[in-house]
Structures are given as C-alpha cells and as structure tokens.
Amino acid sequence: MTKQERADTAAQMLEELYPSVTIPLDHKDPYTLLVAVLLSAQCTDARVNLTTPELFARADTPHKMVKLSVKDIESIIRPCGLAPAKAKAIHGLSGRILERHRGQVPKTFEELEALPGVGHKTASVVMAQAFGVPAFPVDTHIHRLAQRWKLTDGRNVQQTERDLKKLFPRDRWNKLHIQIILYGREHCTARGCDGTKCRICRTLFPSRRKPVQTRK
C-alpha cells in the first residue's frame, strides 16, 4: 500500500468502528471544555471527568473562576497532577478572557494560544470541538499510531500534525482525531500492540514481523 492508501484504509476502518463520536471530556460549553482540556495534560480523561464536577460546581464561568484563589483551584484539581501550574493557568486565562474577550472564549487559534497555559494542542481541541473549525490535535495516541501506520516519521508532534492534515480530507479532521484516540486506547495501546497485533496494524502491514519503535 502507498501512504495515501494506508490513510484511506485506516480512515474507513475507524469509521466502521466509531461511526459516532463525542469528545471524551465532560463539558457544557467552550469555557468548561477549555478548562477540561488544560487539565488533561499528562492526565487521563477519566481522572479529569472525576475532578471537574467539583470545580465546575464552584466555578463554571470565567467570572466565578477569578473569584476563587489559585490555592482554592489547586486544592480541587490536585488529582489531575501538575496542580500548581494548572491552577495558575486556569485563574490567569479566566482573567484574560474577562479583560480582553468580554467573558467569552476567543474563536481564533492566535487568541486562544495567547491565553495563559494554552498551547497549540489545547487550542486545536477547542477550535475543533467547541467551534467546529477543522483542526487535527495530536496527542500521544495519535502521534504513536501515525508512526505505526507509517503516516509520518514521528520527528515531533508538529510534523505529525502536518503530515496527517495532508493525508486526510479537511472535513474529516475533527472526527478522525477522536476516532484515532479511541482506537489507540482500546486496541492499539502502548503495551498491547507493537505495530503487529491490532486489526488496523495487521491490515496495513500483513507481512510485518518486527515491532515498531515509535518516538514519543
């Protein structure tokens, strides 16, 4: 198979497995999604979903969040890890949204990435899932699977994102990034598949025998 044929085959199989998808992070609007995505850095979505109900019960808008102290936020989100930095970022971005965006989460990559603690991946998730703008956020699952499927050389997540955007139709990006994440968690895990065991890996590379070494 060519690289494009592998991409097309993987996309078709993912659509069969996950015809309907929703973002795994519980949220009710762009602001709570932004906070949840920020909390998910180096933390599982399941842990975030266990933590955010208490946080959002106290503060589910920028106006309410800035009324909490950074220490208050930190004490609630501690189970998510990196609590001091995340609490400072959540408090800071809430204030910035109030000061510069009239309390509304901005709708451009540039403005989102200018918020405290918000990087390109976080901005991409919000743009894709809150505002429907085509984006292809690359997390560890996508970065690993794209290498196993030889859709990228995996030099870094930025290169992986560029390569995947070239291979898949723009109108599929928002759904595909969630489909790949789900597949990576359920079937092509870091320990459960080495590029030779799961259904998609076997389909794309039926003669592959050696494990695939992926870059983080």
Q: Could you tell me the domains of the chain?
A: 3-21+136-204 (1.10.1670.10), 30-131 (1.10.340.30)
Q: Are 88 and 102 in contact (CB under 8 A)?
A: no
Q: Give the global pTM.
A: 0.93
DSSP state of 198: S
What is the Cα Rg of the chain in Å? 18
Whether the predicted pLDDT of 63 surpasses 90: yes
Cα–Cα–Cα angle for 3, 9, 11, rounded to 5 degrees: 105
The pLDDT of residue 215 is 79
Q: What is the mean pLDDT of residues 26-45?
A: 97
**Smallest Cα–Cα separation from 151: which of 173, 170, 134, 168?**
168
* pLDDT confidence bin for 107, thresholds 50/70/90: very high
- The tokens of 115 are what? 């918020």
The pLDDT of residue 35 is 98
Q: State whether residue 209 is helix, strand or coil.
A: coil
pLDDT tens per residue across span 118-167: 999 999 999 999 999 999 999 988 999 999 999 999 889 999 999 999 99
**Nearby residues of 162 by Cβ (< 8 Å), 6 or more positions away:** none
Q: Which residues are catalytic?
A: 121, 139
End-to-end CA distance of the chain: 25
